[in-house]
Amino acid sequence: MLEFKGLTKQFRDTIAVKPATLTIPDGQMVGIIGRSGAGKSTLLRMINRLNEPSGGQMLFHGRDITALKGRELRQWRNECAMVFQQFNLVGRLDVLTNVMSGRLFHHGFISSMAGMFSAKERAFAIRALDRLGMAHVALQQTDTLSGGQMQRVAIARALVQEPRIMLADEPIASLDPLNAKVVMDALRAINQEDGLTVVCNLHTLDTARQYCDRIIGMQDGVIVFDGTAKQLTDKAAREIYGAEAEEAFSEAMTSTTLRPSDKPEAATPRVVN
Ligand SMILES: Nc1ncnc2c1ncn2[C@@H]1O[C@H](COP(=O)(O)OP(=O)(O)OP(=O)(O)O)[C@@H](O)[C@H]1O
Ligand SMILES: [Mg+2]
């Protein structure tokens, strides 16, 4: 269980996140929505302390995360795997090496840089790729992949960290609807099969409604909505998005919502244990 107690973040004159109090139980899939600048990324990045909170406290299973330093902080960051909009992979390296870089914390820096991953670790990385339907490209150079494939590799890298929480900041914002669906299906499957808590920022309403157990709506740094997809009525959504409501609603047709012209027979990840 992750608890925020008045967690806040201020950058110079901007209060990006006003004191936020909330509890996320283990195994929940949470979507954070809101217009640009609402504070979604800041809230997410405070969880792994990429953004240092300005005030308040965050607890994970009762342990004060806001107080961690040094190795304990590095360990916590490893326990919170993060998936980014732009994938953050090293394009000139092969897929398997990118995935194994998720083992850096477990492995020790020096031997990792020397490429000294054990056979066991390679097998672990291959299994993670296989869950995402990507084992067949393990030895391919990463920059030859499509965006959707790259994001699946990034998720495999996150999985080999053996995280306790998966954070995703707009994981599908750079993808076409079909790839967006494949990536969201993979995140949902990991959430359901492994019981992993997933917290993701999403810029489209339909995706949040379709995939998340719980939706948190932010506006100007404040959590203005916290409920289920069912509770997120069009009226509530319009209030969260304010002037950007029409955009959010029209984008709903271009995110994970497939149109007849999209071809669903393209690779679907096989997420099995
Ligand atoms: N490093 C920073 N320095 C100064 N201000 C920042 C910094 N990061 C974010 N902000 C400000 O904090 C506010 C919230 O930004 P944040 O990136 O969290 O919004 P967001 O909801 O993720 O927006 P988007 O949908 O565009 O990604 C914005 O006003 C932004 O300009
Ligand atoms: Mg953001």
Shortest-distance Cα residue to atom 3 of ligand 1 = 11
CA atoms of 46 and 8, how far apart (whole Å): 9
Residue 109: pLDDT over 80: no
What is the average pLDDT value for the chain, to the nearest integer? 90
**Between 67 and 103, where is the model more confident?**
67
- Going along the chain from its start, the domains and CATH numbers come out as 2-251 (3.40.50.300)
Half-sphere exposure of 249 (CA within 13 A, CB side): 15
The answer for residues whose C-beta is within 8 angstroms of residue 189's C-beta and 6 or more apart is 269, 271
Which pLDDT value is given to residue 266? 44
Residue 268 has pLDDT above 60, yes or no: no
Query: In this structure, what token pair is assigned to residue 242?
Result: 């304010």
Q: Which residues contact 7 (CB under 8 A, 6 or more apart)?
A: 17, 19, 20, 21, 43, 46, 53, 55, 56, 57, 58, 66
How would you label 183-203 residue by residue, b for 16+ Cβ within 10 Å and e otherwise?
A: bbbbbbbbbeebebbbbbbbb
The ligand 1 atom at the shortest distance from the C-alpha of residue 43 is 18
CA of 52 to the centre of ligand 1 (A): 14
Tell me the pLDDT band of 111, cut-offs 50, 70 and 90. low
Question: Can you spell out the DSSP letters for the chain?
Answer: -EEEEEEEEEETTEEEEEEEEEEE-TT-EEEEE-STTSSHHHHHHHHTTSS--SEEEEEETTEEGGG--HHHHHHHHHHEEEEETT----TTSBHHHHHHGGGHHHH-HHHHHTT---HHHHHHHHHHHHHTT-GGGTTSBGGGS-HHHHHHHHHHHHHHT--SEEEEESTTTTS-HHHHHHHHHHHHHHHHHH--EEEEE-S-HHHHHHH-SEEEEEETTEEEEEE-TTT--HHHHHHHHGGGHHHHHHHTTTSS---TTS-TTS-------
pLDDT at 25: 98
**Residue 111 alpha carbon to ligand 2 centre in Å:** 35
Distance CA 60, CA 72 (A): 13
| pLDDT value of residue 265 | 44
Does 264 have pLDDT greater than 60? Answer: no
Question: 1-14: per-residue pLDDT in tens?
Answer: 999 999 999 999 99
Predicted pLDDT at 82: 96
34-92 pLDDT, tens digit per residue, is 999 999 999 999 999 999 999 999 999 999 999 999 999 999 999 999 999 999 999 99
Ligand 1 center from residue 253 Cα (angstroms): 26
65 or 242, which is more confident? 65
Determine if ligand 1 sits within 6 Å of the CB of residue 9: no
CA of 15 from ligand 2 middle (Å) equals 15
pLDDT bin (cut points 50, 70, 90) of residue 115 is: low
Ligand in nearest proximity to the CA of 84 = 2
- Give the residue, by CA position, lying nearest to ligand 1 atom 26: 36
pLDDT digit string (tens) for 122-173?
A: 999 999 999 999 999 999 999 999 999 999 999 999 999 999 999 999 999 9
